[in-house]
């Protein structure tokens, strides 16, 4: 009787351990801190304000601030003026997330001595006026979604340029964070189902067609091959093999206890 109870307790313990290990192995990497705030987790990026600041860096920090200055009121307007529940939720979410991004941007600007604007620029104010004058909910929804989607499409490549080139650690981390917000917002806006893709600007033609966006040379290939890991073996395959081995160990242990 005692042996049976011990066997059942061991079984529950082993099943619990297996579940936790599988959850750890199969959990997606880089999960955001919270579902409604798409800030990436600790990536090892520092935020000490060290490194030279270029004119492009300063302009980027200012642009992040400007984005919030018109997208926060635009989102609030969507909550008030739209009759579409989907657009209302999109506006509410984007407005809330820009409040968080604005806090991050202000902190970086203060650390680096960058003066930030306190009102939208002329173009942004014009878009807000256009939304305010929309004759009905349907027209408002179209203006709101199209203007914000176009704006996010313009800032998206700018973020990539700063993320890849800046020498300043705080600007680098801000670009990393801003990228998460912008990608989230583009996806949210597109989920409305009313984005006018035809009106969006097209990408410029490549300078050297067919060469690919990222040139790869022998030095890069050598660095990649010496970066560790098991050559030719997919990480998912390794995880599945480990999980299978763990399951086999549990099953074997239970069989041993049942035969005692």
User: Residue ranges of the alpha helices (H) in 166-234?
Assistant: 169-190, 218-225
Residue 234 backbone class (left: φ over 0; alpha: ψ -120 to 50; beta: rest):
beta
pLDDT at 7: 57
Query: What SS3 state is found at 34?
Result: strand
CA–chain centroid gap for 191, Å, is: 16
pLDDT for position 195? 96
pLDDT, mean over the chain: 80
Q: Quick one: angle between helices 169-190 and 55-81, nearest 10?
A: 30
Residue 184 confidence class, pLDDT cut points 50, 70, 90 = very high
Q: In whole angstroms, give the CA distance from residue 154 to residue 105.
A: 18
Higher pLDDT, 201 or 117: 117
Neighbouring C-alpha atoms within 13 Å toward the C-beta of 107? 11
Contact 158, 139 (CB under 8 A): no
> What is the percentage of the chain residues whose pLDDT exceeds 70?
65
Q: What is the pLDDT of residue 228?
A: 46
What is d(CA 112, CA 140) in angstroms, rounded to the nearest whole number? Answer: 38
pLDDT score of 242 more than 80: no
Three-state SS at 37: strand
Per-residue pLDDT of 21-63, as tens digits, reads 444 444 444 333 434 667 777 778 898 999 999 999 999 999 9
Query: Could you tell me which residues are beta bridge partners of residue 37?
Result: 34
pLDDT, one tens digit per residue, over 96-145 is 999 999 999 999 999 999 999 999 999 999 999 999 999 999 999 999 99
pTM of the model as a whole: 0.67
The Cα–Cα gap between 250 and 239 comes to 17
Per DSSP, 33 falls in state S
> What are 34's strand-pairing partners?
37
């Amino acid at each position: 009787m005692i042996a049976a109870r011990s066997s059942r307790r061991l079984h529950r313990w082993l099943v619990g351990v297996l579940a936790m290990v599988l959850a750890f192995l199969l959990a997606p990497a880089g999960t955001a801190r919270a579902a409604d705030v798409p800030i990436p987790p600790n990536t090892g990026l520092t935020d000490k304000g060290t490194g030279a600041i270029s004119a492009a860096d300063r302009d980027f920090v200012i642009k992040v601030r400007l984005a919030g200055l018109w997208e926060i009121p635009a989102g609030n307007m969507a909550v008030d003026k739209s009759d579409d529940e989907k657009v209302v939720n999109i506006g509410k979410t984007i407005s809330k997330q820009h409040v968080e991004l604005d806090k991050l941007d202000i902190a970086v600007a203060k650390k680096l001595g960058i003066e930030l604007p306190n009102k939208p620029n002329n173009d942004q104010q014009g878009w807000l006026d256009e939304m305010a004058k929309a004759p009905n909910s349907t027209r408002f929804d179209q203006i709101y979604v199209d203007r914000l989607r176009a704006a996010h499409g313009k800032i998206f490549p700018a973020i990539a340029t700063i993320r890849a080139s800046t020498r300043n650690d705080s600007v680098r981390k801000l670009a990393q964070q801003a990228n998460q917000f912008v990608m989230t917002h583009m996806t949210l806006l597109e989920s409305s189902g009313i984005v006018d893709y035809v009106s969006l600007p097209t990408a410029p033609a490549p300078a050297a067609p067919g060469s690919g966006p990222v040139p790869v040379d022998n030095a890069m290939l050598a660095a990649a091959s010496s970066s560790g890991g098991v050559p030719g073996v997919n990480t998912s395959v390794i995880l599945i093999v480990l999980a299978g081995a763990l399951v086999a160990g549990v099953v074997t242990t239970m069989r041993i206890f049942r035969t005692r």
